[in-house]
Amino acid sequence: MTRPRPRSLGDVGEHAWLASLIPRLRSARRRRRVLVGPGDDAAVLGAGDRPLVLTTDALVEGTHFERGWASPRALGRRAYRVAASDVAAMGATPIAALLAVTAPPSMSARDLTGLTAGVAAEATAHGAALVGGNLARDARLALTVTVLGEAPGAVVRRSGARPGEVVVVTGALGAAAAHLANRRANRRAGRRVRLPEVPDRAAVGVALAGVVSAMIDLSDGLSQDLGHVCRASGVGAMVALADVPVAASCRRRFGPAAPAAALTGGEDYELLATLPPAALAVARRVAARHGVALAVVGRIVARPRGVRVVGPDGRPWTPARGGFDHFR
Amino acid sequence: MTRPRPRSLGDVGEHAWLASLIPRLRSARRRRRVLVGPGDDAAVLGAGDRPLVLTTDALVEGTHFERGWASPRALGRRAYRVAASDVAAMGATPIAALLAVTAPPSMSARDLTGLTAGVAAEATAHGAALVGGNLARDARLALTVTVLGEAPGAVVRRSGARPGEVVVVTGALGAAAAHLANRRANRRAGRRVRLPEVPDRAAVGVALAGVVSAMIDLSDGLSQDLGHVCRASGVGAMVALADVPVAASCRRRFGPAAPAAALTGGEDYELLATLPPAALAVARRVAARHGVALAVVGRIVARPRGVRVVGPDGRPWTPARGGFDHFR
């Protein structure tokens, strides 16, 4: 008899592993200072007069980007915005950021300074500051940004969605999915395809926090991230594929398949929120003040749990893939 | 004419690059919330009634460890202690930790759970909590731990050392240098050499904060880290090689060369502090209450700047290497 091989991350998948881990960290929530533990966009801590939020996110060469996809400065800016997106989704404002870099010795000092300047400039532009970090050697470049934020009011969690509420998203989706497809098509041609900019949703996130019941940032794709909200809230959701706002680059790339790509593609970093229909007009005015459009993409239901998508023909529609998972 | 090749991190070195970067981030210090910006063991933020400290540190496979040097759980514990060491050096207590992991898909889910459990258990044992993190794919395993702490009193900076003060270190040094040398010797024999445990200096750091003028954790080696204190304080230091407390494993490995190895070897994670001679007896009592010995290794002087070492013969002694740098 052979011993069974232990299951790898590739077997289990990122999200299934995280789902198994989070209950084990339950004790974290019993600490006096921990208002929200693992499993939301960011942790929430009570250490002052206002709730503090704390989150970390990484951009890894070969996984999230390749050299030449963005200038060092743009990559630094992206790393900051990706991490700050989780702070916005809690309805909080960044105070301070840390940047941990791993880099190969062959990397130019100027490029590393450019990366750091990108993080610092973006933090400063949002009223925060790059206050520290770490530098270590590795074969590949990776940027891990931690952001500490502060909520001016109550934080918005994933668990607040209630049946009857509408589901809204900011901006338009699918630009990152289009980039991925364009990149594949251009690889043989040797053309460089720049990463789409991560939208700046810092201000609108805080502004919406007073109006919405639940919020999450779209890092893994609308269908998957709305699934996270449904699970945390103990509800279901119906999404109309025809109502998903589609980015122009996504429409160009995918044509009639664009709404499906926008629904399932990751890394858009727009915000998804749920709110009572009566609050929709207020939410739209609040978002418009920040130059951001809100689109209603669906509705929260009591049953069945999980996300159901309705196609343009009114029939149930099943996505070919469920959203991004690092290990599947 | 050829354009000069841009200088790489390997050309410039970690510490020289950081030294060039930190003045560029000066604007961070002008932010209302930022009490201490980049360049100390941790950043200090004013966001509540007590100062908050924030720091991040990474353990990278192939740089800081290899598989088999420690169990996943021990590696997680180490990653936490290495990051928390910077919090202790500020005289602060951890509240919350984040763990960002990059891992290959081939890694077993059980090992990743073990790593995470190690971080969580160590955080919990210190009254803190693992409240979140990130998981991404990469070719190698890396653990980046961020710790948010709170100082019960004033924080202790690197810049507080004054001429006439004594220089003390906790515990004994050189165990990590001995491990490195043992590992090289055992590599061909195929024997696994376990990483030495990072000492737990969380409580003694906070206790010493009320007594000492400057403090730093020893991650890059006593001579180099004392150099950081001297630069930040605008002073010099004299160290007596014969007074450096040497770990037993270091003495076994290096024999008569052990004090030099203990002086320059990195990754000991003991604390170095400076204090007026009159406060030494109190500091020793405070440390002893936490089961920690304090050794006087030298004295702060006004001039010359920098660290001078006196050998056992009373003559100036120059180390063969200056301490750890990731890129030199």
Across chain B, what does the average pLDDT equal? 92
Query: Pairing state of beta strands A306-310 and A236-240?
Result: parallel
Handedness of CA A244, A247, A249, A252 (dihedral sign): positive
With beta carbons under 8 A apart, name residues in chain A contacting B113: 17, 20-21, 24
With beta carbons under 8 A apart, name residues in chain B contacting A98: 43, 54-56, 146
How many residues does the structure list for chain A? 328
- Strand, helix or coil at B38? strand
| Residues in a beta bridge with A34 | A45
List the single residue in B with minimal CA-CA distance to A327.
B105
The answer to whether B2 contacts chain A (CB < 8 Å) is no
Contact B33 A96 (CB under 8 A): yes
pLDDT at B319: 72
What is d(CA A82, CA A86) in angstroms, rounded to the nearest whole number?
A: 7
pLDDT at A14: 87
Residue with tokens 């200056």: B322
On whether the pTM is more than 0.90, the answer is yes
| Angle ∠(A115,A117,A123) on CA atoms, nearest 5 | 110
Q: pLDDT by residue (tens digit) across B246-299? A: 999 999 999 999 999 999 999 999 999 999 999 999 999 999 999 999 999 999
Considering only residues A189 and A41, tell me which one the structure prediction assigns the higher pLDDT: A41
What is d(CA B187, CA B68) in angstroms, rounded to the nearest whole number?
A: 12
pLDDT exceeds cutoff 80 at B48? no
Tokens at B105, concatenated: 């898909």
Among B55, B106, B137, the residue with its CB nearest the CB of A326 is B137
Lowest mean pLDDT among A139-148, A177-186, B190-199: B190-199
Handedness of CA B261, B265, B270, B276 (dihedral sign): positive
The answer to whether A6 contacts chain B (CB < 8 Å) is yes
Among B8, B107, B131, the residue with its CB nearest the CB of A9 is B107
Cα distance from A242 to chain B (closest Cα, Å)?
32
Cα distance from B312 to chain A (closest Cα, Å)?
35
Read off the pLDDT band of A323 (50, 70, 90).
low
With beta carbons under 8 A apart, name residues in chain B contacting A95: 33, 45, 47
Contact B100 A105 (CB under 8 A): no
The answer to whether A195 contacts chain B (CB < 8 Å) is no
List the single residue in A with minimal CA-CA distance to B107.
A8
Cα distance from B174 to chain A (closest Cα, Å)?
21
The answer to whether A113 contacts chain B (CB < 8 Å) is yes
Read off the pLDDT band of A32 (50, 70, 90).
confident
Tokens at A126, concatenated: 């949002």
List all residues 6 or more positions away from A25 whose beta carbon is below 8 Å from its beta carbon: A37, A38, B116, B120, B129, B130
Strand blocks (E) in B34-141: 34-36, 43-46, 51-60, 93-103, 129-137
Q: What is the mean pLDDT of residues B38-42?
A: 91
With beta carbons under 8 A apart, name residues in chain B contacting A40: 132
Read off the pLDDT band of B25 (50, 70, 90).
confident
Tokens at A138, concatenated: 């590795």
Q: pLDDT by residue (tens digit) across A243-259? A: 999 999 999 999 999 99
Task: Please give the biggest Cα pair distance in chain B.
Answer: 67
Q: pLDDT by residue (tens digit) across A201-229? A: 999 999 999 999 999 999 999 999 999 99
Closest by CA to A113, choosing from B127, B67, B6, B203, is B6
Q: pLDDT by residue (tens digit) across B96-139? A: 999 999 999 999 999 999 999 999 999 999 999 999 999 999 99
What is d(CA A210, CA A191) in angstroms, rounded to the nearest whole number?
A: 45
Q: Answer whether B308's CB lies under 8 Å from B236's CB.
A: yes
Q: Answer whether B144's CB lies under 8 Å from B133's CB.
A: no
Read off the pLDDT band of B231 (50, 70, 90).
very high
Considering only residues B11 and A170, tell me which one the structure prediction assigns the higher pLDDT: A170
Read off the pLDDT band of B321 (50, 70, 90).
low
Q: Answer whether A142's CB lies under 8 Å from A59's CB.
A: yes
Among B104, B131, B144, the residue with its CB nearest the CB of A100 is B144
List the single residue in B with minimal CA-CA distance to A46.
B48
Q: Answer whether B192's CB lies under 8 Å from B76's CB.
A: no
Kindly report the backbone phi and psi dihedral angles of residue B208, in degrees, each rounded to the nearest multiple of 5, phi listed first: -75, -20
Q: What is the mean pLDDT of residues A14-26?
A: 84
The answer to whether B229 contacts chain A (CB < 8 Å) is no
Read off the pLDDT band of A184 (50, 70, 90).
confident
Contact A139 B17 (CB under 8 A): no
Contact A144 B38 (CB under 8 A): no
Q: Does the bond joining A304 to the residue before it have cis omega, within 30 degrees of 0?
A: yes
Q: Answer whether A92's CB lies under 8 Å from A42's CB.
A: yes
Give A 18-37 residues with CB within 8 A of chain B.
18, 20-21, 24-25, 27-29, 31, 33-34, 36-37
pLDDT at A206: 97
pLDDT exceeds cutoff 60 at A2? no
Read off the pLDDT band of A86 (50, 70, 90).
very high
Cα distance from B164 to chain A (closest Cα, Å)?
31
Q: By percentage, how much of chain B surpasses pLDDT 70?
A: 94
The DSSP 8-state label assigned to residue B323 in this structure reads S
Tokens at A103, concatenated: 């880099």
The answer to whether B96 contacts chain A (CB < 8 Å) is yes
Contact A146 B146 (CB under 8 A): yes
Q: pLDDT by residue (tens digit) across B297-318? A: 999 999 999 999 999 888 999 8
Strand blocks (E) in B66-220: 93-103, 129-137, 142-150, 166-170, 214-217
pLDDT exceeds cutoff 90 at A29? no
Cα distance from B104 to chain A (closest Cα, Å)?
8
For an interface test with B, give the residue of A30, A146, A267 to mutate (most B CBs within 10 A): A146
As a whole number of Å, the end-to-end CA separation of chain A is: 29
pLDDT at B28: 63
pLDDT exceeds cutoff 80 at A286? yes
pLDDT exceeds cutoff 90 at A319? no
